[in-house]
A and B are shown apart, each in its own frame.
With several copies, the nearest count.
Chain A
Amino acid sequence: MAATKRSKPPPPLTPAGTDPKVLRRAHFLMRLSRAWDSRFEAMARVGRIGRWYSAVGNECTTVGTALALGANDAISTVHRDLGAVLTTYLDATRLAPALFPAGDATEWDALRPPPQSLLDTLASQVFGRRGGFTRGVDRSFHYGLVKPDWGIRHVGMISHLGSMIPVASGLALANLQDGNDRAVLGFIGEGATSQGDFHEALNLAGVMKLPLILVVENNRYAFSTPLAEQYACEKLSDRAPGYGIAGETVDGLDFDAVHAAMTRAVARARSGEGATLLECMLPRMRGHAEGDGSYELIPPAEREEYLKQDPLARFEAALLARGQADAARIKEVTEVTKAIIEDAVERALLTEEPELAEATRPVFAPGEVATAFARQSTEVTGG
């Protein structure tokens, strides 16, 4: 069943109006995200990992939005937001010093921990290894990292789609309560917008004027379901007026458009004007999970069209066209990022499985309740 009705995206676009520093970092991070996906897709194809939810096609949106945030703005991610995670976690200038002129490092970078170690932890996380953020207890992006000292406030997903939108609204509420001007960026697929939690959270955001930006990554399919079976409005941003919040739909192939829309949304959030629903239209470049047969259901011509729309290729073409990078630079970034990911993955694959004791680690944070839990017979606690 084809995703009908939506018009085709406009012709090739150019990252024209964006700060060169931002463009350099964006290019690096998008390539890093893509390199990661390529590596994991390859492993999924040969059965070395169980499932892989590819973010290929989402990079321009995830990186373009996350790059508009500052230290201790919060992000809440779902399953195709690797780009936003990398953008938030990594001091790119330290990770690939050769690629960045001295002035590219930001104040936030100064707070950030050594990037290599975070990348290694992330790779171990995805493999369910001992060295991951959850030490094997939960999968890939199912964790969070709230480290105000590092300027990082990241809340990962649970599998239940839509459930994180209220949580993101709560992160925004805390900012309101603290009287600061921080913003919160939440991601969601177009499929998950059908969940009641989407509605409840955006309604709250409207009523309380929460500093929240919800980015809808509209890749036109949810698992096998095309958007015409998912919703009947013209654009999902048409829902914004119903919540009294700002709404915009941008072309997720157009880095400048994404970044500019996000920058506007962040400004609204910081100035107390409230929330934004930002829909980014993406090409469906991969199936739901690698090898699950869902991509084959999309008509071949439609698939080809999507594959031609690769936002990263367009971004690089635009860099070239505008003279913002030459072919050598693009090649270098491609190779450096590939090597960084290869390394991280290899290292992670050499790390150990989690200790078995992790399975029965506490369900309660230390305190009275945790102590009482541990007092029960081990048949129950499993302890």
Chain B
Amino acid sequence: MAETTYIDAIRRALGEEMERDANVFLMGQDIAAFGGAFRASKGLFEKYGRLRVINTPLMESGAIGAALGAALVGKRPVLEMQFADFVSCGFNQIVNNVAKTYYRWEAPVPMVIRLPFGGGAGAGPFHSQSPEAWFAHTPGLCVVAPSTPRDALGMLKAAVRDPNPVIYLEHRFLYRREKEDLGEGDLLTPLGRAHVVREGKQVTVLSWSWTLHESLAAAEELAKEGVSVEVVDLRTLSPLDEETIFTSVRKTGKVLIVHEATITAGFGAELAARVADQCFEHLDGPVRRVAYADRPSPYNKKLEQSLLPGRERITAALRKLARY
């Protein structure tokens, strides 16, 4: 069978869900005839027309608000931000309107906001950010970040079907680099479930998205050195699958949290806090984090690379932790 890339998995999910449910529709900038900046919706405009693949003017807040309105009367909008960085322009609609509606008056808000995020492309401070912590701090939002084509497909489909707003973080660096044979069928990945990608005994790594792959590479490296590392792909950041996480940490006694977002008040802090509280008696070493320094993402590729929490930094941190 042909291999499916991460971005193709996203396109497949969109196509399958639009086919399944006539209420599903897409909104975003340049997503119609052009198929989107990353071509995630390529071909769908031709198939479903201008009322289900809606090219919006250059705006974010207005588009998110409009999607909310449509969702309140039974539609299931899937909104693409051209880059995750631009979601800040529609921040209020998400955190105050979309997120709070169900709690306030029990109206379900089935909508997905797709955020192409992350660095590694030398794209500078405004096309490289990882905004998940802002949304994880906002009650009422589900925040997911798949790391494989399989989960990109299965979680997007699950997100479209859930009656709640889902912030869907898709990593641009993985778009064409990750490939899998997915086969046929209606493949779903449950929301709210982490996944132990690699079993191990001495240290647990908690990560997601691009850094998950870097963590796996680092675990491989450590294996050569005789250290057994367990790697957990969180997949859903909020709500959190505490059970899977705590089970792993209690088993290994050590934890390294790895993410691409800047470190201070990043989502890794929440993981550290829960572990330091709920696994305290099982910890055999300090809770460590590897993440981006508290800086914007520099434009020059070498500068950016020096800050990205890649496999070298993870490997070094794992070594240190294993020796602790």
Which residues of A pack against B, CB within 8 Å? 1, 50, 74, 76, 128-129, 133-134, 136-139, 142-146, 153, 155-156, 158-174, 176-177, 191-197, 199-201, 203-204, 207-208, 222-225, 229-231, 293-294, 297, 353-354, 356, 358-373, 375-377, 379-383
Contact = CB atoms under 8 A, between A and B. Distances in A.
Nearest to A230: B57
Interface of B: 25, 29-30, 32-34, 37, 51-52, 54-59, 61-75, 77, 82-83, 85-86, 88-89, 92-93, 96-97, 99-100, 102-109, 122, 124-127, 139-140, 142, 158, 162-164, 166, 190-193, 236, 239-243, 263-264, 274, 277-278, 289, 292-296, 298-304, 306-307
Contacts of A297: 33-34
B104 A169 contact: no
B57 A225 contact: yes
A50 B92 CA distance: 26
A294 B35 CA distance: 10
Contacts of A138: 104-105, 124-125, 298-299
Given A143-B105, A166-B62, A297-B34, A372 B73 contact: no
Contact of B56 (A204, A358, A379, A382): A204
A231 B57 contact: yes
Given A223-B29, A225-B57, A170 B108 contact: no
B298 A359 contact: yes
A203 B34 contact: no
Contacts of A137: 103-105, 125, 296, 298-300, 303
A368 B239 CA distance: 10
A167 B93 CA distance: 9
B125 to A, nearest CB: 6
Contacts of A231: 57
Contacts of B58: 161-162, 191-195, 222, 225, 230
Contact of A369 (B70, B191, B306): B191
B92 A160 contact: yes
B192 A372 contact: yes
A373 B107 CA distance: 18
Given A153-B73, A354-B300, A368 B55 contact: no
B57 A372 contact: no
B295 A360 contact: yes
Given A1-B33, A359-B306, A364 B164 contact: yes
Contacts, number: 298
Contacts of B124: 138-139, 142, 159
Contacts of A369: 142, 162, 164, 166, 191-192, 239
B50 to A, nearest CB: 9
A146 B142 contact: no
Contacts of B164: 364-365, 367, 369-370
A366 B2 CA distance: 37
B306 A377 contact: no
27 contacts: A74-B73, A128-B122, A160-B97, A160-B126, A161-B58, A162-B58, A166-B93, A170-B65, A170-B67, A171-B73, A177-B25, A177-B52, A191-B57, A192-B58, A197-B65, A200-B61, A222-B58, A225-B55, A358-B300, A360-B307, A369-B166, A369-B239, A370-B164, A371-B192, A372-B236, A375-B243, A376-B242
B57 A358 contact: no
A372 B70 contact: no
Given A172-B69, A358-B298, A369-B239, 17 more contacts: A136-B300, A142-B126, A159-B85, A159-B125, A159-B126, A163-B97, A166-B64, A170-B67, A173-B66, A195-B59, A196-B62, A207-B57, A294-B34, A359-B293, A369-B166, A381-B293, A382-B292
